[in-house]
Amino acid sequence: PYHMRLFSLHTCLHAIEHDRRDADETGVLAGLNRALALWRGTNARDHGLFEDLIARPDLPAPAIEAVARLAATRLEFTVDDINDALRPMDAQGAIAQALVAALAPALGRLHADTMCLAFEDVLAPQFLLAMSANARLVPGRDTLISEGTPR
């Protein structure tokens, strides 16, 4: 719910600032970008990592989003869990390993003696999902252009 409230708040602020009573697709995307800009201010490392990940042609958006959904719903997960999440799209194996390697700077282990992975920033998976969806909604854009932070 936190992310939905955050994205909705910034969508509403965008509508108010543009003297609108409702939010259209442009307003929703602007609100999402504002929220992402705020998060970038608190976690620039993961934000930049996610931008690079989304721009990679060897990692399909559905695979990135499947891993983001998995991590958003589970505090910790394994490579086997990632393979299970990717199985419906026949993307397990090499893609799972590539995703784990690409996400490694953002991942840690809750317990050093296990193979369970977890995002160091527990909010990051939802932002990864939002960033990936946003990149797919705006054709030809491989980075997010922020509208700025609220005043």
| pLDDT tens, per residue, the chain with 151 residues | 777 788 888 888 888 888 988 888 888 888 888 899 999 999 999 999 999 999 999 999 999 999 999 999 998 999 899 999 999 988 778 899 999 999 999 998 766 667 889 999 999 999 999 999 888 875 444 343 444 333 3
Inter-residue contact 132 to 65 (CB < 8 Å): yes
Report yes or no on whether pTM surpasses 0.85: no
Distance of alpha carbon 90 from the chain centroid: 22
| Residues 81/70, Cβ–Cβ less than 8 Å | yes
